[in-house]
Amino acid sequence: MINRKMKRRVLLAFDTFAILASSILSYIFLEPYISLLTRDFWIALGLSWVFYLFFALRFHLFFKINRYTSIRETFNHMAAVTLAFFAASLISVPFVESISLRFMLLTYLFSVALIPGSRIIWRIYNEHQQKLKELSVHGEITQKVRTLIVGAGQGGSLFIKSLQRHDFEVELIGIIDDDSAKERMTLYGVPVIGKVENIPELVKLHEIEQITVAIPSLSPQELNEVVEICAQTNAKVNQMPSVEEVVLGKYEVNKFKEIDVVDLLGREEVKLDMETIAENLSGQTVLVSGAGGSIGSEICRQIIRFSPKRILLLGHGENSIYLINKELMNLHTNTEIVPIIADIQDRERIFKIMEQYKPDRVYHAAAHKHVPLMEYNPTESVKNNVYGTKNMAEAAKAADVQSFVMVSTDKAVNPPNVMGSTKRIAEMIVTGLNEEGKTNFVAVRFGNVLGSRGSVIPLFKEQIKNGGPVTVTDFRMTRYFMTIPEASRLVLQAGALAQGGEIFVLDMAEPVRIVDLAKKMIKLSGYTEDEINITEAGIRPGEKLYEELLATGEHTDRQVYEKIFVGKVNNLPIEEVMHFVHGLEMYSDDELKVKLVDFANNKHKQTEDVEEDMENPSVIFAQ
């Protein structure tokens, strides 16, 4: 391997030789017709070389990786040669006696053939060598997968080109595209043979084994429509990776990506108010609790894009904090990243962290979120969701944090369970602590997050992998769904809009039936419902058939940003909330369940017995 400096010298030497060879060839061809003096020959050659060197340096031609020469690079080479010979001709033809325009033009044509042409030949040679290398690794492929590509646009073009260079296990039979102008045309030798609606008949006619969607710009709804048509066939359905996934190194361009149910249930990406968010985060110290979790880690990924001064990654799980810290450190930004292992239940530790780092913004995502597990462990739910949130919020207020954003859930609305009740009480604490002129406290409420650790999707995937059955708690059950990136972006946007004391509600669109979700996943996995059964398991402790984003009386049409509303939430006085919270340690688990649900739904009664018990609270929980 030659180094960069040596490579540039070789390219300069080659191009110099190419101009010299072109001049000599032109002289030989034109000798019978023109009389060219030796001195004038060298003058023309010298002028051509000097001007070429100037334009080659101007276009950075000696700094290109020539084995990846593209149309743009070829154009730059041709532009440099053209400009060089045009400038040389302007000087030599009028002022040098024996130099003719024919000589300069012929020399130019030979130079174009040799200089840009050499780069194209070098690329072709390298691609051929790469194919031979890959064949030696994979061996001769006897059975290729007959594949149909959906999309003859830029995405399809890039994908097909990459497949033809590197993938020897695929036989491209044809392309599907709804653009009538592309019908019967070819793309890199692959014919456009029909439209999306023709897929079922084309699969039968051409014995297609695999259908690949190569349109990265498809909306989830459009992708869903294509998948529904493909589901009428027995062919495997997948898609090309997105540009973002390629850039992040998750996939190579020529690799097939399984279509995930997340791709079908996602929505159009919300355009954020980047300027407002940047003002909110740039140059700031930001603390994220639960930073190793699904939502917390994505909030960190979104925040770092706005160049904060420092991100504090606070979490109880050592491994999860290690992973997100490692990921963010690999981005090589100027943001200081501080991993902090701490339990939000440790009041003294949380206060010390807030006092030490003095964060400007806090995003509180740490919580216990699993509904059935919290039904069995109400004490732990109170310790983490109620007292942990109380610790975080009061520590933030003591440290003069500018804004505190709590990540809440739709399960806090009319909660019949422990988890939802503790989150509703946490909302009461956070919004109740808001005071004018001090820390802005807000909560952001949304539904289930696709792909999170507590999501039903990983469970369904595992059940399908094991051959079924897929268990749905109740065929009538519906849930709101949102992707992790969308939820995290909207949390940042809501935080930037916060005035203090609000509960922001994210527009979750239409709820999805869980049984329909299971059916989609079975189809995407290449099975039918006859092969993988769906069974009803019954509602688990604490679960609701239908989730809500707003309780009765909370509904509002006040939209403060796209997909963000402010709920009309009427909280109890903060003194009453704290009075209730301080007495929770005195109850048994069974009593806790009742007390939490009643209080969260404003059905509680302060009896004289409770008042009496409040006089001697234990210190099991930090207060």
Positions annotated as catalytic residues are: 411
* Residues 115/70, Cβ–Cβ less than 8 Å: no
Helix (H) or strand (E) holding 40: helix 38-58
For residues 295 and 454, is the Cβ–Cβ distance under 8 A? Answer: no
Residue 162 identity: S
What are the backbone angles phi and psi of residue 175, rounded to the nearest 5°?
A: -125, 140
Which residues, listed in sequence order, are joined to residue 471 by a DSSP beta bridge? Answer: 535
Integer Cα distance of 584 and 617 in angstroms:
9
Q: Where are the beta strands (DSSP E) in 539-621?
A: 559-561, 564-566
185: Cβ contacts below 8 Å, ≥ 6 apart: 152, 191, 192
Residues forming a β-bridge with 339: 313
Residues facing 351 on adjacent strands: none
Query: Largest Cα–Cα distance of the chain, in whole Å?
Result: 121
Q: Radius of gyration over alpha carbons of the chain, in Å?
A: 33
Sheet holding 257-258, edge to edge: 186-187, 190-194, 170-176, 145-150, 210-213, 236-239, 257-258
Cβ atoms of 107 and 99 within 8 Å: the answer is no
Among all chains, which residue has been given the structure tokens 């102008």? 181
Instruction: Give, as one character, the DSSP assignment of residue 306.
Output: T
Helix 220-230 × helix 199-206 angle, to 10°: 40
Which among 173, 36, 20 has a CA at the least distance from the CA of 93? 36
Neighbouring C-beta atoms of residue 435, cutoff 10 Å: 13
Mention every residue, 6+ apart, whose C-beta is less than 8 A from residue 415. 421, 423, 424, 597, 600, 601
